[in-house]
Amino acid sequence: MKVGIDSIAFDIPKLYLPISVLAENRGIETDKLTKGLGLLKMSFPDVHQDVVTMASNATLSLIQRENINPHDISRIYVGTESGVDSSKPVASYVLSNLEGVLGKGSFRNCDVVDLTFACIGAVDALQNCLDYVRLNPTKKAIVVASDNAKYDLESTGEYTQGAGAIAMLITSEPRVLSFSEKVGVATEGVFDFFKPRRTVQKEALLSSSDNTEWFGVTENEISIYKEQPVFDGQYSNQCYIHRITEAYEHYKKESEQSGKLYEQWAAILMHLPYCYQGRRTFIDIFAQENPAMLNAQSGDTVKDKMKALAKSTEYLNLIHQKIQPSEIASGQIGNIYTGSIFLGLLSTLCYHYQQNSELTHQNLGFIAYGSGSKSKVFEATVEAEWKTVIQKVTLFKALSQATAIDFTTYEKLHKKELKSSVIVPKVEFYLDSIETENPVLVGARYYKYSK
């Protein structure tokens, strides 16, 4: 029995900042970002948008396009590292929003939960739901990846920002992809990128050593929540390379395969924190699989030989054929954390549909990564009806219709200084209000659907 992705949908912000505008205002050479990293646009949420609205929009789009009966959906599992609450999951907000459109109680018997492990959380959610459907072949599940990759202004991560959501219908006998049961895993507990609980001493704010109650806080320290992470870009890149090479080798062992796995893959899907991350890091696996080719390169050191190998005809052909299609959407959206690898999948499928490529029965390789850190490597096979599904997905059209914003608007959105939306919400979920008065509902987020 085959189990995998039967259909797929997405939601991205309608706003973007051109990377050239960011580069100009930050004093960065534009070519460094565009030609060096592959960045063209950076999607950014409007005032009324967050990970809940994007997840809800993508899921509703999937349900309506495929005419799915809500009662047939047994699970909605969300992968995210941008949760809006430390207890109530994004998935429960999504369920509530869907019931507001599809009918109260229509998801009463649906299991929902969030899975968090940096950028690999949605892969964990996917594999959890694949196993569930393998045990319950008549059941359907939806996996949603929804995130807002937000970094501090003027930080080295600022130009990699992005936002969006991907929703996938998981069934037996799927039309798009079926997944192998074997998975390669590599994990190590590190601090390459994380979002810690930060605190400040109350006396630093109140100019008083007395532990006076402050907005309901009776503790002597005040916790601060920041969407932006603490990270070390160079160290994180090293962790990324170590984990993916380890997981790749582990997958070969688990699947009892030998030889160069990537040669069997029609496409390579990797986590893309920025557009060219995949092509820049897969070279380590390529070198590992081709030691003789590496040794034949010019250069006195291994580093020199690696640089030469990365510019070789063999490797550049691999990038063009197997990695570049996944980069198209990434370059125009940016990093969407847990959804980046699935955005790459959707970009690849939409590209090959446009090219009228024949992918049926070919294998795709997935190389996922999440800081903290963990990598998973696994395979999927493209099913016969994939074009029937993908022809309905208007990813590239949506990208072409997005609205550019100026730098001033971008900074005001980033600082949450705007009170009204740049584009009025239409045919989408939006954040209507956050409770501030009722003591038993303080912080509750209320969403509506604009028809």
Express each pLDDT in 389-414 by its tens digit: 999 999 999 999 999 999 999 999 99
- Give the pLDDT score at 374: 98
Asked whether residue 8 carries a pLDDT value surpassing 80, the answer given is: yes
Asked whether residue 212 carries a pLDDT value surpassing 90, the answer given is: no
What's the CA gap between 122 and 389, in Å, rounded? 21
Q: Tokens representing 271?
A: 């986590």
Contact 407, 28 (CB under 8 A): no
Asked whether residue 122 carries a pLDDT value surpassing 90, the answer given is: yes
Q: Which residue has the higher pLDDT, 415 or 224?
A: 415
Taking the model in full, what pTM does it have?
Answer: 0.97
Judging by DSSP bridges, how do beta strands 15-18 and 403-404 pair with one another? parallel
Strand, helix or coil for residue 441: coil
Please choose, from the candidates 341, 181, 340, the residue with its C-alpha nearest in 3D space to the C-alpha of residue 256.
181
Asked whether residue 206 carries a pLDDT value surpassing 90, the answer given is: no
- Summarised one tens digit per residue, pLDDT across range 355-369 is 999 999 999 999 999
Secondary structure letter of residue 319 according to DSSP: I
Strand, helix or coil for residue 310: helix
- Summarised one tens digit per residue, pLDDT across range 45-59 is 999 999 999 999 999
Q: Which residue has the tokens 């429960």?
A: 92
∠ CA 198-202-203, nearest 5°, is 130
Same domain, 293 and 214: no
Same domain, 251 and 360: yes
- Give the pLDDT score at 118: 98
What's the CA gap between 107 and 125, in Å, rounded? 19
Same domain, 223 and 237: no
- Summarised one tens digit per residue, pLDDT across range 284-296 is 999 999 999 999 9
Radius of gyration of the chain (CA): 22
Judging by DSSP bridges, how do beta strands 140-149 and 73-79 pair with one another? parallel
Same domain, 122 and 61: yes
Residue 79 class from Cβ within 10 Å (0-12 exposed, 13-18 middle, 19+ buried)?
A: buried
Q: What sections of 104-222 are H helices per DSSP? A: 121-135, 202-206
Split into its structural domains, the chain has a count of: 2
Same domain, 89 and 208: no
Same domain, 280 and 159: yes
The CA–CA distances, whole Å, from 41 to 19, 213, 324, 411 equal: 5, 45, 17, 15
The CA–CA distances, whole Å, from 373 to 167, 193, 236, 238, 240 equal: 24, 9, 9, 11, 8
- Give the pLDDT score at 30: 98
Please choose, from the candidates 7, 5, 301, the residue with its C-alpha nearest in 3D space to the C-alpha of residue 125.
5
Could you tell me the CATH number of the domain that includes residue 156?
3.40.47.10
What's the CA gap between 451 and 328, in Å, rounded? 31
What's the CA gap between 363 and 377, in Å, rounded? 13
* Residue type, position 347, single letter: S
Same domain, 334 and 214: no
Same domain, 163 and 214: no
CA 289 to chain centre: 28
Q: Tokens representing 283?
A: 């070279």
- Summarised one tens digit per residue, pLDDT across range 413-445 is 999 999 999 999 999 999 999 999 999 999 999
- Give the pLDDT score at 216: 83
Same domain, 251 and 366: yes
What's the CA gap between 241 and 186, in Å, rounded? 11
Same domain, 254 and 332: yes
Neighbouring-strand partners of residue 263: none
Same domain, 70 and 209: no
What's the CA gap between 76 and 144, in Å, rounded? 7
Residue 215 belongs to what domain range? Answer: 195-227
The CA–CA distances, whole Å, from 53 to 177, 226, 234 equal: 27, 19, 33
Same domain, 222 and 282: no
Asked whether residue 208 carries a pLDDT value surpassing 80, the answer given is: no
